Structure 1
């Protein structure tokens, strides 16, 4: 069920600015940060140069983005070892997504090499930097991660690459998405599900399959993913529209096309979708089933980890140089780049 908002017709002339939805007012979860944030951020900077082999000017954007701050807010209880693995995994995801977006690497080729590295990070030999990054962080992931958690991480990465490949095909064919089809694709495309396996990794738990497959747990994950995806789309829309590619991968453009909304109407609608995602998260948390005592303890940790991702990711987005959000939430549209 999607939220109801007043529909407005797209005007003949394009607006020069828009107002971002007030995403923080509906997100009341406590924001915490790991005390290891600074040290791990500096280690992450070294990893970007040594393992990801980034140099100026490319490396500058990732240094300024500070994924150490993102991981510190999303995994506030992680020790230094586990937090560093999380940061490197998130760095890899951002880098690989940018490289696929720019055509530096092919999604299907990256799928094959990276999954091979994840399956056997010690013995798999490769010269491909994307797979070397996987070997670097996943060899340490496997030191403490349980078998279920490990398999869930790899499966989620497979879903991400498959979604990217579909997006590339859709773009080549000029396909536009309807709201429902985009929602389904975006859940894999946002690439956050591997980060949910990291919740287990950080806490050194390994949830039973019957728990992670339960409809209520899946509903909690979907609500978390939806909030992350829609908030990311809202905050990245300006940069994407300036590149001319927002029609393929942004909820705001999909809403304008599919619901006949103007830009501000689509922004407001997407903001309501974020609010609805938090409502769904809370309503499903209220009906969590009970298993046995130890499993219930682990489930509580996992659900709090999902909550940390909602609030931690939101505040990181709002403060990251990557997104350029102003305090008054008034965003001037960037001019479209010439082809």
Structure 2
């Protein structure tokens, strides 16, 4: 047996630990996994593209590179040329970056981010901004609109706008510690997932531009919604461990626990049953697609094939990225179980003694300027420093302590990346 199979891992089950067991989101899917032939080179170029403008800290850079969003893009958009593959990968990397940025903001900060991005999309020639979000948006958008059809362009803009509205609601729920009911969550999750924007890229990559009456047809809409649910719910289950550890409740598992009064494993099992029922519904609904004539039928077939690619791509990629399981993705795929992570402790000033010597990293963003202040002395001077930083940045302070580490990170974020 190789070392890769015998090494110790935090994901391996131990008798004294709480174990989460996952449903199989790969085997039931009848669609083959396909990968774009240029995925490796396109992924590398796309990562370099985003890193050149995002101005990440070393920690953010490492986290971003471990994401491997270019692989997901290559699994979702297969039958296209190099230029289209690059734009798709660039948007995929950008979308995950937007998601991470928005997680740090309240509704006001998210609204500012949304205005920056949407103004760049709607007014690419006249809206000028030095914000990172605007530069990234303009870069992929200028290339995309060269070949994307007008309806495809409009669908991307409208679905991205919907995405921002939804994550503002998510931010509000997070701030009020609100868990929506199941129906509300399903509707909201279809928008926060970002899948609707990804479906616009099925058209772009496939060289099609569906008429609105076709894209909005009840059967096509049902296929889009069920694909969205299959992707989102599998993601919720597989990311639940990491999300619960940081206190995030925007997750199907949390919603089902509240709705049905079950424990976390019962909710995971129920989520798996809902997912399988939805997969069956997708396959049955696909058989009822009407005909609009040879040319439109050809485009619809490409669109539906894109849904199929998304379903299997998401399931497979979840174990290839380090976003959910670190470097243990392949092991988790084999065992379909993880140890429940402890809830990360929140740190406040009272947790820090004046005579303790701690390495404190303070990271904040001020008008696109990333500054790191390192201190190895006691924290008695911190309140004045925080007050100064807060006043200068016009932002807010997020304080957390990583469990098991002797490091406390104080993140001071601006109200918007504009």
Please say whether Structure 1 and Structure 2 have the same fold, judged by a TM-score greater than 0.5: yes
Classify the secondary structure of the residue corresponding to 1:319.
coil
Contact 2:257–2:264 (CA<8 Å) still a contact in 1?
yes
Of 55, 63, 66, the match for 1:64: 66
The aligned runs of 1:185-334 (5 Å cut-off) are: 185-245=188-248, 247=249, 249-324=250-325, 325=329, 326=332, 327-334=334-341
Q: Determine if contact 2:47/2:93 at 8 Å carries over to the other structure.
A: no
> Segments of 4+ in structure 1 off by > 3 A?
none
Q: What is the CA–CA distance in structure 2 between the aligned matches of 1:50 and 1:138, rounded to whole Å?
A: 17
TM-score normalized by structure 1?
Answer: 0.92
Deviation of residue 176 (structure 1)? 1.9
- Is the CA contact (8 Å cut-off) linking 2:105 and 2:171 kept in structure 1? no
User: Does structure 2 conserve the Cα–Cα contact (< 8 Å) formed by 1:121 and 1:136?
Assistant: no
Q: CA deviation at 1:170?
A: 2.1
TM-score, normalization: structure 2? Answer: 0.75
Shift of 1:173: 2.7
**Aligned counterparts of 2:196 and 2:270: Cα–Cα separation in 1:** 25
Tell me if 1:29 matches 2:36. no
1:4 alignment counterpart: none
- Deviation, 1:123, is 3.6
Counterpart residue number, 1:136:
139
8 A contact 1:66–1:320 mirrored in 2:
yes
Equivalent residue pairs, number: 324
| Counterpart position of 2:166 | 163
Partners of 1:227 and 1:273 within 8 A in 2:
no
Q: SS of 2:338's equivalent?
A: strand
Uncovered stretches (5+) of structure 2, i.e. residues with no partner: 1-15, 347-418
Question: Which position in structure 1 is the counterpart of 2:122?
Answer: 119
- Cα distance per residue 1:137-174 (max 9 Å; x no partner): 11101010010000000000011000011112222233
Find 1:84's aligned residue among 83, 86, 94: 86
**What is the aligned partner in structure 1 of residue 48 from structure 2?**
46
Report which stretch shifted further, 183-192 or 122-131.
Answer: 122-131
Name the structure, 1 or 2, with higher relative contact order (CA <8 Å, separation 6+). 1
Structure with the higher fraction of residues in helix conformation:
1
The structure with more strand, counted as a fraction of residues: 2
Contact 1:122/1:135 (8 A) holds in 2: no
User: Deviation of residue 65 (structure 1)?
Assistant: 1.3
How far apart in 2 are the matches of 1:268 and 1:166? 27
Q: Deviations over 1:294-327 (max 9, x none)?
A: 0000000000011101111110012211111412
Residue of structure 1 in register with 2:10 after alignment: none
Contact kept? 2:50, 2:136, Cα under 8 Å: no
Mapped to 2, the partners of 1:309 and 1:123 lie a distance apart of 35
What secondary structure, in the 3-state scheme, does the structure 2 residue paired with 1:18 have?
strand
What is the distance in 1 between the residues matched to 2:77 and 2:179?
Answer: 36
Conservation of the 8 A alpha-carbon contact between 1:51 and 1:136:
no
Task: Determine the C-alpha separation between the residues in 2 that align with 1:239 and 1:26.
Answer: 25
RMSD value, Cα: 1.5
> Contact 1:122 / 1:139 at 8 angstroms: preserved in 2?
no
Alignment correspondent of 1:7: none
State the shift of 1:71 in Å. 0.7
Shift, 1:122, TM fit? 3.9
**Secondary structure at the counterpart of residue 20 of structure 2:** strand
- Please list the CA deviations of residues 104-135 of structure 1 after superposition, one character each: whole Å capped at 9, or x if unmatched: 98211111111111113344211111121111
Shift of 1:15: 6.8
Distance, in Å, in 2 between the alignment partners of 1:32 and 1:228 is 17
Give the whole-Å Cα distance in 2 for the aligned partners of 1:156 and 1:285: 23
Q: Equivalent residue of 2:318, what SS? A: helix
Give 5+ residue unaligned stretches, structure 1: 1-13
Query: Do the aligned partners of 1:148 and 1:207 also contact (CA within 8 Å) in 2?
Result: yes
The equivalent residue for 2:365 is none
| Residues 166-175 or 217-226, more deviating | 166-175
Q: SS of the residue aligned with 2:316?
A: helix
